[in-house]
Structures are given as structure tokens and as C-alpha cells.
Amino acid sequence: MYGRKVKFRFFFVILVLLTLILSVFLVLKALEENVVFFKSPSDVKFLGELKNKKIRIGGMVKQDSIEMSANELNFIITDFKNEINVSYSGVVPNLFSEGKGVVAEGYLKDRSFFQASKILAKHDENYMPPEVKAALEEN
Amino acid sequence: MIYSLIGYYSLIIGLFISSFIFFFSIKNFRNNKIFDVKIVNFSFLQLFLVIVSFLGLILSFVYSDFSNETVFNNSHTTKPLFYKISGTWGNHEGSLLLWLFVLTLFICVFILKSKNQLKKYRILTILFQQIIIIGFFVFLLTSSNPFNYIFPTPNEGLGLNPILQDPALAIHPPILYLGYVGSSIIFSSVLSATVLKDVSKTWAIHIKNWVLTSWIFLTLGILLGSIWAYYELGWGGFWFWDPVENVSLMPWLALTTLLHCISVLEKRYTLQSWVIILSITTFTLSMCGTFLVRSGILNSVHTFANDPERGLFILIFLFILISISLFIFFVFHKSEKQNSILFSLLSKESSILINNWFMMYFLSVVLVGTVYPIFLQVISSEQISVGPPFYHKLIIPFLIPFLIFMAIGPKLKWIKSELDEKLNLLIFFLMSILMSYLITKKISTDFLINTMLIGSAFYLFLITTKDFFSKKIKNISQNLAHFGFSLLILSILFNNIFSREIITNLRVGEEFNNEKFQIEFSDLKKFEKKNYISFKGIFLITDQGVKNEFNPELRVYNQPNIITSEADIKTSFWTDKFITMNTLQNEEYFNIRYQVKPFMLWIWISVLLISLGGTLSLFKRRSL
């Protein structure tokens, strides 16, 4: 019916289409699973339901809230309206200090307690992560 | 003061020269025979002026001329001379001037190197390149002038961010830009070849040197950035899938694909469309890299000046370039005659085509991961970040077939071939799977995927190693690059699987103990340096019976007032031992991180081998 060339090209096109669909599907799925959302303490307060998903929380480190021991660091992130307690063990960036901006990545235990697995490094004393700036301006 | 003035006026005259070249090129284009020597002279004059301007900026930095705004923002009198000079391109304005310098340099090299090419092709390439050059001139003079004057002259500058004061990072931008800007020549050249319908074998041979050169520089540039991130940022990793890293990886992926495609074009006169599209893509991605890094859209180490006007300019410029190139592609390029699509399934060209598809997939993954957060923020103001798991999940499974194809592909011949030595290939395959099983059987997580990955990497490793000793070896540069890649994947995997780390908080005099490690924080010493105060920790670490002293450092810089930590790394043939110390304000505790990272050195060596492969190929071609 059809020549060999046509058949071959037909299969080729089908193959390309299938690969494309497959990769788009994979990318979307991976995005859905691995995207980390950024929230401010106020966002957390009004969160509909608590999912067991990694998120980032940003704001200011509250004055006099840092407590450090041999294997743990506790502090409070505030956006001057709401607060959240953060517990963390791991590498602390040099510019992490009270009254400065911070972004913590980890899991929410409940609405007022956050278990962080990473504190993001800042590189500049004047630098504030754009997310934190926006979150603070909103309030 | 005087240097800034000279630099500024050189730039303005340079822009005028551009329009002369533009004018003469168009006039000369209609003339079929004689290549107008004015174009050459003016191009060299332009290069000279840009060099003068660049030197003007460097000298302003050397003499700490704070009436120049760029110098004021990025330098300081107490900074060592080397970093005063490297500060020239450690900022937005200076780095754009560097771009322009490399652009004009490359067009002159192109004029010298392309004497055997058709006259029309040369002129058209110069014309396209001048469009890019004019764009950069205008950009520099309007929105990012490196020679802005401030009055009254401040007594002291603001200083360069200390984490940028580092030898690797001082030479990282120039090397990377040589790669980025090299792709501009490929871009201009492919456009003019398309217009003249001359995307041919001879063109491929001519442009391949440019592709190789940019590829080598881009590889080395990425390597330098990665080494810097490893020891300076103190996270102990070498690749973080940070957007800024991704934007340098994307042109690399496109360029690597182009490199393979060019060989097909050269030997078999097919895949023209691929070559054209890839050349355009590579340059667009390089420009996008500059745009994303410099516009402040990505928040990262590199973005200090957040100026929307600049971003907008590059965006419009980029849009114009892309429109021009797409227009040329669709109007002038007629797809090749039917000798191409029907590749024999077992042939070198189809294996390269497979390589292309894989590379394009990797490229799209990185592109989506980098751009999607920006996109989402614009349309829904939802802020997200895409982390390493995204990339790992999407890239790692495809790496397995990719590695196997990479081992078998080069064995095939052009046009049509049989797979020779089938038995050999099979034995090697079983051997690698067995070796990998013996290594991975102790680890508990992700056993299957690790075994398969290591197995396929071993497979490529063994086959390329064997080929070094084979008499029939035809393409040693390709073999070396593929060998380097297998070594890279193996080192990264072993590094990943066998790394160990301890994170703890210690006070001076305290000790940390577990079965394997003993970390003693015995002392903290203070030193005054020229532009910073240094605190050196004295750590005695016993690791599996071996005792070492480590001295990680905290530096408090005077200008700008920033604390950085310097890791202490003990590098040996097989393993790196890595310790960093961080401090918290008003706390007695220091945050200590000790890491054992096997095969670190081999990651760097393997990337060097990959670029060495490219270099060999470059010299092989020259001798032809």
C-alpha cells in the first residue's frame, strides 16, 4: 500500500510524538512533586490544610529568640504580625542573626512549629531575599 | 579621572566606527570581487578603541579613582592589587565591557582566520556581528555606563563583595565569556551561511574550530565556577542547580550537541536544520544567561545591581535578534533533499541524532527548572523554588541509556554499519554490571538505580579505556572526551554515595565524639590582615585512626562589613576532607561542619580531560 519510506517516516513521527508527550508528562509530574512553595508566617496561619510537603518560610528572625545548644538551634521567624517557631540542626550561614531576614526550608509540624532542614545562605549584609522583602511589604 | 574620560570617549568613537563598518559592509556587499580593506581597518580600529576603554577602566580601578561610580561601588583602597584588577569585571558594567571587548576581539580574529572563505559570506558575518556589537555599545552607553562620574569625589569606595575576592572567581568571568561570546561568531556565521544557502561541508569545517574553541572555554569556565563554589561557599558541594549555574549549563548543552552535529554536517552533509537551530539556540541561551544573571531576576550570589531598565533592554535586544534569526531561518532555509531523513538505524549519524534528542531533553529539563519559577511568579505571584530533586529525578534515569549509547555510538561507521565485536561489547557490559554490583551491594537506598547507573558509567569507562589501546583508534580526541565524561559520572556517583558528614555546634575547648570521628575544638586565634580580621579555629580531628589538624577561618572584612567563612580542605588523591566553621552573633557556639568527600579531585580532573579532548581535536584540525 504505502512505500517503505512513508511507513518509516510515519513511525518516526509517532516515535517523536510519543517521546515528546512522555517527557512533558515526566517534567510536569516532577514539577508538581518537587516544587517548593514560599510562605510567610501569616500565610501559614491562614493555610487551608497542612500538607506534608516541603515549603520555605521567610521573614525576620525575632529579637532575643535564638537559642543554641550542641545539636540544635531554635528561633522564631516573624513578619511582625504572626510568628512561627523554628527548630533546626545543621549548617548556619554567617549572616544569620537576630533582626535580619531569613529563609528556612523544611516541614510544618503544625501551625506554629516548623522543622527546618536548611537555612538559606545570604551573601550580603544589605541583601534581603526578594521573597522576604515582598512578604514584609505585604503586611 | 583622566582614564575614565579616555575610556568613555573611546566607547563613543567605537560606536561611530561601528556604523562606518555597517555602512561599508552594505556598500561592499554588492561588489562581488574586492573585499573592502576599510572594513578590516575599521574593525581593528574598533578593537583598539575598546581595548583602550577597557584599560581605562582597569587603570581607574588600579589607581582607585573614586570619581568613577563603578570603581566607587566595587573597589576600596585596602584591596589587594590583584582584586582591584579583577574587580573590573566583577560587576555589571565592567563585565559588559568585557563582553564587548571579546566581541570585537573575535570579529577581528574571524576576519584574519576566514581569508579563504567567500567574500559575501565574510561580509555578511561581519554585518551580523556588528549588529550585536552595536547593541552592546548602546547598552553600555545608555543604561550601564562604566564611566559614570560622581561629584564630589568620595574618599573611599564601597569595596568588592569578599566572596568574589578569590583567584578562581577572578578569572572565571573572562574564561566563561570567551565561551559565551564565541557562540556569537557561530551565530552570525550560521545566519550568513543560511542567507547565502551555503550551510555546506566546507562551511562546517571552517566553523568547527569556532565551535570547539567556545566549547573548551565554556567547559573551563563552568569548571572554575564550580571549583569556586566548592571551596568558597562552604557547602561542600560543587553543583547546586542554582539558576545562575543552570544558565551557564544550558548553552553548554546546546553547544555540545552542536559540536556533534557539525561533524555529521562535515562528513555526511546532512542535519543542516539542526546545526542552524542549535547555533541560534546556543547564542540565545548565552545572551539569556547574561540577561538572567545581570537583570536581578534571579536572586543569587552574582546579582547585586537590580535594575529593571537593564533587564528590559537586554530582553528587547534579545527579542530583536531572535526575530531576525527566525525570519532568516524560515525564509532562506529550504530543508535538505531527501538523502538525510532515512538514516540507517545502525550508523554513526543516527547515533548522533539519538545523542541530540537526549541532550535536548536534558536542556529542556534545566530550562523548565530555571524558568518556571520566574514564569509562575509573573503570572500568579506565587513564589516557588525548584530544587535538586527535580533535576535528579528527571535526568538520572535517562543518564543510563545515554551512557550506553555513548559507549556504543562511536563504534559505528558512517552511512551504514554492522556492530563489530558484538561479543566483546556484551562481555564488557556484563563485567561492568558485576563490578557495579560489588560496589553497591553494601548501600541500602536506591540500590537498583545506583547499580544501573554505575554499571553504565563503568561500561563507557571500560570501552573508552580499551579503545586507547586499540590499534584501530581513529578519533583519540573524541575518545578522551567520552572517557573524561565516564570518569566524571563515576566520580560524582562515588562522591555522592560515599560522602560522610558531621554537623555540630561546639564551643572553644569542647569535643565531639562518635564511633568514627573525634572532633576537638582546641583554640581560636585572631589575626589582623590588610582588609580583614581573621579568626582561625584550631581543630584536631581523628578520623578512623588518622589525626589531622584543621584551620577553618572566619573573616570579618572591613569594607563591605561582611563575615565569610573559609573552609579548610585537605585534598588527597582519593578523598577530600573539608571543614567549615560558622558563627552566630552573640553566641558562644560555633557551627561546625566536617565532611569526607571521596573522589573530589577526580571530578575536576575528569572535566579537564573532557576539555583536553576538545583541545586535541582543535590541533588535529589545524594540522590538516
B284 found inside a domain: no
Per-residue pLDDT, averaged over B145-160, amounts to 83
Q: Is the separation of the CB atoms in B440 and B454 below 8 Å?
A: yes
CB contact under 8 A, B161 and A31: no
Min Cα distance A119 → chain B (Å) is 12
Q: Is B301 on the interface with A (CB under 8 A)?
A: yes
**How big is the A-B interface in CB pairs under 8 Å?**
104
- What pLDDT does residue B294 have? 65
Residue B604 predicted with pLDDT over 70: yes
Query: What is the Cα–Cα distance from B172 to B187, expressed in whole angstroms?
Result: 23
Q: Which three cell numbers stand for residue B38?
A: 576599510
Binned at pLDDT 50, 70 and 90, residue A123 comes out as: very low
Q: What is the pLDDT at residue B335?
A: 65
Q: What is the pLDDT of residues B18-73, one digit of tens each?
A: 988 988 888 888 876 777 788 899 999 999 999 999 999 999 999 988 988 888 88
Chain A contact for B244 (CB, 8 A cutoff): no
> What's residue B472's pLDDT?
66
pLDDT value at residue B304? 40
The predicted structure's pLDDT at residue A135: 62
**Quick check: is B145 in a domain?**
yes
Give ∠ CA B194-B200-B204 in degrees, rounded to 5. 100
Confidence bin at A125 (pLDDT 50/70/90): very low
Distance between CA B40 and CA B569 in Å, rounded? 51
B408 in Cβ contact with B419 (< 8 Å): yes
State the total domains in chain B. 2
- Bond preceding residue B152 cis, omega within 30 of 0: yes
User: Which of B584, B588, B590 to mutate to probe the A interface, most A CBs <10 Å?
Assistant: B584
> For chain B, what is the mean pLDDT?
86
CA distances from B65 to B22, B133, B560 (A): 35, 28, 18
Q: Which residues are within 8 A (CB) of B337 and not within 5 positions of it... i.e. 6 or more apart?
A: none
Does residue B583 lie in a domain region?
Answer: yes
Whether pLDDT at B468 is above 80: yes
- B311: burial class by Cβ within 10 Å (0-12, 13-18, 19+)? middle
B367 strand-pairing partners: none
End residue of a domain, out of B101, B136, B164? B164
The string of DSSP letters for B314-330 reads HHHHHHHHHHHHHHHHH
Q: What is the chain A residue with the closest CA to B159?
A: A124
How far is residue B3 from each of residues B44, B49, B64, B102, B479, measured CA to CA in Å?
Answer: 21, 13, 11, 21, 49
Mean pLDDT over the full length of chain A: 78
B404 in contact with A, Cβ within 8 Å: no
B563-566 and A35-39 as β-strands: parallel, antiparallel, unpaired? unpaired
Q: Given an 8 Å threshold on Cβ–Cβ distance, is A68 in contact with B368?
A: no
Q: What is the pLDDT of residue B89?
A: 87
Give CA–CA dist B321/B369, Å, rounded.
24
Spatial distance between the Cα atoms of B244 and B290, rounded to a whole number of angstroms: 10
B350 at interface of A, judged by CB pairs closer than 8 A? no
Distance from CA of A45 to the nearest CA of B (A): 17
Q: Do B564 and A38 touch (CB under 8 A)?
A: no
Whether B113 maps to a domain, the answer reads yes
Adjacent-strand bridge partners of B565: B554
- Give the pLDDT of residue A61: 85
Q: Is the peptide bond before B560 cis (omega within 30 degrees of 0)?
A: yes
Give the pLDDT mean for B543-548.
83
| Contact: A91, B591; criterion CB under 8 Å | yes
pTM of the predicted protein model: 0.89
Q: How far is B485 from chain A (nearest CA, A)?
A: 24
Instruction: With CB atoms and an 8 Å threshold, state whether B561 touches A125.
Output: yes
What HEC string does B179-203 produce? HHHHHHHHHHHHHHHHHCCCCCHHH
Please give the residue of chain B at the shortest CA–CA distance from A39: B383
Residues composing chain A:
139
Of the partner residues A31, A36, A91, the one whose CB lies closest to the CB of residue B503: A91
Confidence of residue B282 (pLDDT cuts 50, 70, 90): very high
Q: At what angle do helices B2-30 and B119-142 cross, to 10 degrees?
A: 150
Distance from C-alpha of B263 to C-alpha of B414, rounded to nearest angstrom: 11
Q: Is residue B300 part of a domain?
A: no
Whether B371 shows a pLDDT value over 60: the answer reads yes
Considering B164, B186, B221, which residue would you say is the last residue of a domain? B164
Q: Does B533 touch chain A (CB under 8 A)?
A: no
Q: Are the Cβ atoms of B386 and A31 closer than 8 angstroms? A: yes
| pLDDT given for residue B375 in this prediction | 78
| pLDDT at position B127 | 92
Q: Calculate the alpha carbon distances from B488 to B19, B454, B483 in Å.
A: 47, 11, 9
Q: What is the dihedral of CA B137, B142, B145, B148, to 10 degrees?
A: 140
Asked whether the CA dihedral B37, B204, B257, B452 is positive or negative, the reply is negative
Would B135 be classed as within a structural domain?
yes
Write down which residue in B164, B190, B206 finishes a domain. Answer: B164
B559 phi-psi bin (left φ>0, alpha ψ -120 to 50, beta other): beta
Determine, for residues A91 and B593 on separate chains, whether the beta-carbon distance falls below 8 Å.
yes
- Are B565 and A94 a contacting pair at CB < 8 A? yes
Residue in A19, A72, A125 nearest the CB of B562: A125
Contact B373, B298 (CB under 8 A): no
Cβ of A95 and B565 within 8 Å?
Answer: no
Q: What is the pLDDT of residues B245-273, one digit of tens each?
A: 899 999 999 999 999 999 888 888 888 88
Which residues of A make CB contacts under 8 Å with B? Answer: 5, 8-9, 12, 19, 23, 26-27, 30-31, 33-38, 56, 66, 68-73, 89-98, 121, 123-125, 129-131, 134
CATH number, domain at B584?
A: 2.60.98
- Element of type H or E holding B45: helix B37-62
User: A68 vs B593: CB contact, 8 Å cut-off?
Assistant: no
* pLDDT, tens digit, 9 for 90 and up, residues B229-246: 888 876 778 888 888 889
Closest CB to B585 among A30, A38, A97: A97
Taking the alpha carbons at both ends of chain A, their separation in whole angstroms is 71
| SS (HEC) of A66-97 | CEECCCCEEEEEECCCCEEEEEECCCCCCCCC
Q: Which of B301, B504, B510 is facing A123, going by the closest CB pair?
A: B301
Model confidence at A1, pLDDT cuts 50, 70, 90, reads low
Min CA distance, A127 vs chain B (Å)?
A: 9
Residue of B nearest to A23 (CA): B361
The shortest C-alpha distance from B426 to chain A (Å) reads 27
Q: What is the ipTM of this complex?
A: 0.74
Note the pLDDT of residue A130. 58
Name the residue range of residue B567's domain. Answer: 500-600
Please determine, for residue B549, whether its predicted confidence score (pLDDT) is greater than 60. yes
Nearest CA in chain B to A4: B342
Which range in B77-81, B340-344, B613-617 is most confidently predicted, on average pLDDT?
B613-617
Residue B323 lies in a domain: no
Question: How big is chain B, counted in residues?
Answer: 624
Please answer yes or no on whether B584 and A19 come within 8 Å at the CB atom: no
Cβ–Cβ gap A71/B357 under 8 Å: no
Q: In B, which residues are within 8 Å of A37 by CB distance?
A: 382-384
Interface contact flag, A36 B587, Cβ < 8 Å:
no
Q: Which pLDDT does position B31 carry in this prediction?
A: 74
Q: pLDDT at residue A70 above 60?
A: yes
For chain A, say whether B595 makes contact (Cβ under 8 Å).
no
Query: Residue A132 has what pLDDT?
Result: 61
Task: Name the residue facing B357 among A19, A72, A130 (closest C-beta).
Answer: A19
Instruction: Give me the mean pLDDT over the B339-351 stretch.
Output: 70
Question: Which pLDDT belongs to residue B588?
Answer: 77
- Residue B439 counted as domain residue: no
Which residues are paired to B597 by β-bridges?
B576
Cβ <8 Å between A34 and B390: yes
Continuous segment of H or E residues that includes residue A107 = strand A101-110
Structure confidence at residue B480 (pLDDT): 93
DSSP B446: T
Q: Using CB atoms within 10 A of its CB, is residue A107 exposed (0-12), middle (13-18) or buried (19+)?
A: middle
**Nearest alpha carbon to residue B120 among B200, B192, B177, B227:** B192
Stretch B498-521: mean pLDDT, rounded? 85
| Best residue of A123, A126, A131, A132 to probe chain B, by most B CBs closer than 10 Å | A123
For the segment B483-488, the average pLDDT, to the nearest whole number, is 96
